[in-house]
A and B are shown apart, each in its own frame.
Chain A
Amino acid sequence: MIDTPSVDWLALSPTVALLCASGVALLATVIVPAWMRRGIAAATALAGFVVAAVLAGIVFDETPTPEILLDGSMVRDQLAAFAQVVLAVTGAVVVLVSWSEDRRDNHGEYYALLAAAGAGMVFFVGAENLMTLFLGLEWFSLCLYILVAIDSERETSLEAGLKYLIVGGFGSAVLLFGAAFVYGATGELSFAEIAVADTTSDAFLLTGLAMILAGLAFKVSAAPFHMWTPDVYQGAPSSVTAFMAAATKTAALVVTLRVLVTAFPDQSEIWTIAVAVLVCASLVWGNLAALAQSDVKRLLAYSSISHAGFMLMAIAANSERGGEALLYYLVPYTAMSVGAFAVVAARERELGRPVTLESLAGLGWERPWHGIAMWTFMLGMAGFPLTGGMFGKLFVFSAAYDSGDWWLVLVGVAATAVSLAYYLNVVRWMYMRTGPELRLVPAGGSPPRDSALSVAIGAGVLVTVGSFFAVQPILDVAADAAASLPF
């Protein structure tokens, strides 16, 4: 008789809900007649994400103190639950974005993979040892590799999928190698045990730490591990890009925070510097490169690199305040990036070709709601008031200043100044140029009504602006979540 560990099903329920949704969506491709597939698969995925969000909310509510599950392989705490809510809501909105996306007959597979990727991320943020960390990472990465390449009739999609596979695979390998070093140095897999273990070799431990950080930085797409980001974001279907920009980054950042704080508290002097270097590199490179972009998806990709820099700044602070700032930042950030990619997707479907800055001309006047929404997202990303983006930056800067990294604040301020140039450029193209002036012709008349997409964009605007006015409730929740880490 083998002893089985007791399983806390409630803690695993968000993952299970998404896996079920994924399975049902996949079954739908086989047993449901073709004309119903899209609707059933999408509805299943949507239901899965919504149920996962609700369950994660219940877990958040019922987990005042962290509990270690499954023989130290998973953790049930408010940090994981917070991230799971963000991830699941993001996933639900992405389902709405992709609802009427045009693709060949592989809707079932698409939604199955989306839900499975969501399940992987939801699992990943609850990882408590190096094995589950790697398992979760590969789980959602594999789904994303296929999702990026799912429009296989488009060459760019395939190319992006291949690039992501190679670079992502390399990143995972680095992480795994790092995990091996850490295990070798400490003889432990669990984060909490690594923190207290007697190390046999500091060199091995530090090498391992560096490699784990690098592997996670690939997923966060922080410079200098960002090379894949622009190409993949540009080539992938817009809804997948939205999912990657928002959800992958959320999951990877939360796990980075958890790993560094729980497993390597004694090395914090070293890793805070390493993270600060990542911050500077991401802010400088992301913002400068974004200036030169004409393709809007590439521009947003570089912008997401710079946002990775801002959020890592909160991790570099290595304080509870920093954790709080990161978690707050994630809320408006995910809303803004999903929303912005949703507007791009809408324009893409209308014009039938990739969206460049030029093809945004006149959008603000022709589609006033999309224009105002995009305006909100751009201002939010630039950290203007009346959007949560401003508070995100404020909290991150406060955390950095509080930890004595005043120079990081100055770097962040300079980066924000540069970023204005390209965010406002988008606004400029939408409002200060007009379509007829540039002879833009929609692919076929006025765009079809797409209420699902409008709901998605509306949700993005609501959260972006709402997180400005309702700061305190979000901050309270973020503070609870951050308190589950041993700062």
Chain B
Amino acid sequence: MLTTALILLPVVGALVVAATPLPRATTAGLAFLVALMEVALWIVAASRFDFDDGGLQLGTSREWAESFGISYSVGFYGFSLWLTGAAVIVSAAAIGYAVWVGRDRPRAYHALMLLLTGAMVATFAAQDLLLFYVSFEAMLIPLYVLVGVWGGARRQVATLTFVVYTMAGSLLMLASVVAFGVTQGTFSLTESGTSDNVWIFLGFAIAFAIKAPLFPFHGWLPLAYREAPVEVAAVLSAVVSKTAIYGFLRIGVPKFPEPADDLSGVILVLAAAGLVYGSLLAFRAPDLRGVVAYSSIAQMGLITLGVFAFDDLGLDGAVLQSVAHGLVSASMFLLVGMVEHRCGTGQLASLGGMARGRPVLATVVLVAGMIALAVPGSATFAGEFLIMAGVYGQGWGYSAVVALGIVLAAMYTLRVISAILHVEPGVAVRDEALDLRTSELALVLPMMLVLLVLSAWPALVSESAFPANNATQAVLEAFR
């Protein structure tokens, strides 16, 4: 019931927000309240969750289209609960940011944001292939409008590319869902067996590769991340991309062990290439959002390396890194939004020198940046280290690439930090541009605190993502 409540709360909230004609501020406040309630509900769920038990928990199952073997089945495993946690926190921060900016047409805007939250949670909770497909697709509907209506100047091109790419993947996945469900006679993920059909696996893999996105399926990303409202970009890079990781962990690998193993070489090479390529582009990007966007490609490549390491450490690391990267990139995007709000531009050439007289901004940007570049001791370092250790079994070269990725991350992150904070004051930085306000700080600080907690105690996530030290077995056998 708790899982269903987690899905339904934002959806019902969305309907209420959309249907009630309230003043602007009240509407926005109501939406934010719902998002906070969602976080509270997640905390309740986490407190009732037994992390030592590797099985499906908080599960519910209802008949839906039983003659086709389709049911409404939801529930959480350790790793999906953590991913959901990151999702609800990031959603709350994003909605809070939208409240602070005061988006136009607040009823429609906040209803769509809440709908998106519900769809994301449903994706992470889905234990039926069709329900997964439905939620995966349902995320696209609000995203399409959020980017297309509230986005920047080139929003229409951005939405078009985004939708074309994503739908191409989704429809391949639909074909695979049909083929898998019909062959198995059930769409339930807990009841169906495995398949050794490479084509069906490829349909899923390409859909996830586009959503993540993995190199070379990332064509939609730069434009979408640049043109989306900044908090939507935060949700896209922090959470929506992680649905692909969930897909790999819950469907791609457990349901297709042989094809996944056969193709793991290709996927690992592409992921490694994406890691390097994304990092290099992030280093060359001329604007703030470009840096964060391309670094997302790099990070998704890294996480995919962890998944396809087929190793306990790699899988634990992939989950930890997914959560940590979600929180870091959401914080970074919101900070980017705050800087852009002050300076009216995100071009690195016009920024600089913002540290002077703005201590809070400087501190927060620096801390977020340090975590993003995986400084030893941070949660991201723990994640990257686990992935590096895990992927060693697949070949030392991959570990070397991960190490290279960490170095490159340091390069592009330090470049962007100094471009914002240090050197001479840029042309767009006026003296009137204030330091972070309390309300802004309140949006970023919770995420930073969670990150600091995870930095101090990464095992909180990495040891509870899968049943005790047995991630490979869990993914390969228990999820079948």
- Using a CB–CB cutoff of 8 Å, the interface residues on chain A facing chain B are 365, 379, 383-386, 390-391, 393-395, 397-398, 401-402, 406, 409-410, 413-414, 416-417, 420-421, 424, 427-428, 431-432, 471-472, 475-476, 479
Contact = CB atoms under 8 A, between A and B. Distances in A.
B100 interface: no
Given A471-B65, A472-B64, 4 more contacts: A409-B179, A413-B175, A414-B171, A427-B145
A428 B156 contact: yes
B134 A386 contact: yes
A413 B171 contact: yes
Nearest to B150: A432
Contacts of A424: 144, 163
B182 interface: yes
B178 A397 contact: yes
B167 A471 contact: no
A417 B171 contact: yes
Interface residues of B, number: 36
Contacts of A428: 148, 156, 159
Contacts of A386: 134, 138, 141
B56 interface: no
A220 B478 CA distance: 49
Contact of B68 (A385, A395, A413, A416): A395
Contacts of B66: 472
A158 to B, nearest CB: 39
A406 to B, nearest CB: 7
A331 B164 CA distance: 28
A398 B174 contact: no
Contact of B167 (A385, A410, A420): A420
B167 A413 contact: no
Contacts of B144: 424, 427
Contacts of B328: none
Most chain A CB within a 10 A radius of its CB, from B65, B130, B133, B148: B65
Given A385-B138, A413-B174, A398 B67 contact: no
A391 B65 contact: yes
A413 B172 contact: yes
B130 A394 contact: yes
Contacts of A384: 137-138, 140-141
Contacts of B149: 431-432
Contacts of B437: none
A432 B144 CA distance: 11
B137 to A, nearest CB: 5
B127 to A, nearest CB: 16
Contact of A417 (B64, B167, B177): B167
B110 to A, nearest CB: 15
A159 B194 CA distance: 58
B434 interface: no
B431 interface: no
A383 to B, nearest CB: 8
B63 interface: yes
B168 A475 contact: no
Contact of A394 (B105, B148, B174): B174
A402 B182 contact: yes
9 contacts: A384-B141, A390-B134, A413-B172, A413-B175, A414-B171, A424-B163, A431-B148, A431-B149, A476-B67
B181 interface: yes
Contacts of A427: 144-145
B182 A401 contact: yes
Tell me if A's interface is mostly helix, strand, loop or mixed: helix
A428 B179 CA distance: 32
Contacts of A398: 68, 178, 181-182
Nearest to A328: B65
B67 A472 contact: yes
Given A432-B148, A476-B67, A397 B175 contact: yes
Contacts of B182: 398, 401-402
Contacts of A475: 65, 67-68
B357 to A, nearest CB: 40
Interface in B140-180: 140-141, 144-145, 148-149, 155-156, 159, 163-164, 167-168, 171-172, 174-175, 177-179
B228 to A, nearest CB: 14
B332 interface: no
Nearest to B175: A413
A471 B171 CA distance: 21
Contact of B65 (A416, A417, A421, A472): A472
A420 B178 contact: no
Contacts of B179: 401, 406, 409
Across the A-B interface, the 10 shortest Cβ-Cβ residue pairs: A385-B134, A471-B65, A397-B178, A413-B171, A385-B137, A413-B175, A432-B148, A385-B138, A398-B182, A401-B182
Contacts of A385: 133-135, 137-138
Contacts of A479: 67
A108 B462 CA distance: 74
Contacts of B7: none
A416 B138 contact: no
A363 B63 CA distance: 38
Nearest to A412: B175
B280 interface: no
Contacts of B137: 384-385, 390
Most chain B CB within a 10 A radius of its CB, from A394, A402, A410, A424: A394
Nearest to B63: A472
A398 B175 CA distance: 9
B98 interface: no
A203 to B, nearest CB: 37
A472 B163 CA distance: 30
Contacts of A431: 145, 148-149
Interface in B52-67: 63-67
A409 B64 contact: no
Contacts of B273: none
B420 interface: no
B416 interface: no
A471 B131 CA distance: 13
A414 B175 CA distance: 10
A385 B136 CA distance: 9
B70 interface: yes
Contacts of B68: 394-395, 398, 471, 475
Nearest to B156: A432
Contacts of B64: 471-472
Contact of B163 (A401, A414, A416, A420): A420
Nearest to A476: B67
A447 B244 CA distance: 46
A363 to B, nearest CB: 14
Nearest to B183: A401
Contacts of A390: 134, 137
A409 B178 contact: yes
A427 B108 CA distance: 14
A401 B177 CA distance: 11
Contacts of A432: 148-149, 155-156
Interface in B68-92: 68, 70
A425 to B, nearest CB: 9
B105 to A, nearest CB: 7
Most chain A CB within a 10 A radius of its CB, from B135, B159, B179, B182: B182
A401 B133 CA distance: 18
B163 A410 contact: no
A417 B156 CA distance: 18
Nearest to B67: A475
Nearest to A424: B163
A416 B170 CA distance: 11
B4 to A, nearest CB: 14
A211 B145 CA distance: 47
Contacts of B140: 384
Contacts of A476: 67
B148 A471 contact: no
A472 to B, nearest CB: 5
B163 to A, nearest CB: 6
Contacts of B163: 420, 424
A156 B70 CA distance: 47
